[in-house]
Amino acid sequence: MFKNRLVGAAALAAFASVSLGLATPANAAPAKDSVAASCKAGNVTAKETMKIRTTPKMSGIALGLFPKGAATCLRGGGPGGMYTACGSHQAGWAYIDYRGMKGYVMDGCLDYGGPIDW
């Protein structure tokens, strides 16, 4: 019975995507950058290697590293604890999603490379 429901659900999903025009055209080019394709706000690049933290302050627990030159999706941000890094003294933090690690990095150490679409 479960198998029949699963097959029925898959068939319904396939029909809906074709009916609604959600199917990918045969001549569509694949996404050049999976980060860019899945990121609504915009992408950021690390100017320096920094820790991804659980909270927007230097005392936040480090989840991992965001390496210099790496790009990722910006999910949000705002004020937090003060820091001095990458030539700036400020309290701006960005919330990112880097390889499954979601957390805060120092905003002053990011290159936005263009406008952010909130």
Task: Please tell me the distance from the alpha carbon of residue 13 to that of residue 15, in angstroms, as a whole number.
Answer: 5
Q: From residue 91, how far is each of 34, 56, 57, 81, 106 by CA, in Å?
A: 30, 9, 8, 5, 8
State the pLDDT at residue 116. 60
Per-residue pLDDT reduced to its tens digit, 5-59: 434 444 434 433 333 333 333 433 333 344 455 576 688 999 999 999 999 999 9
pTM above 0.75, yes or no: no
Average pLDDT, the chain: 75
Domain covering 31-111 in this structure, CATH number: 2.30.30
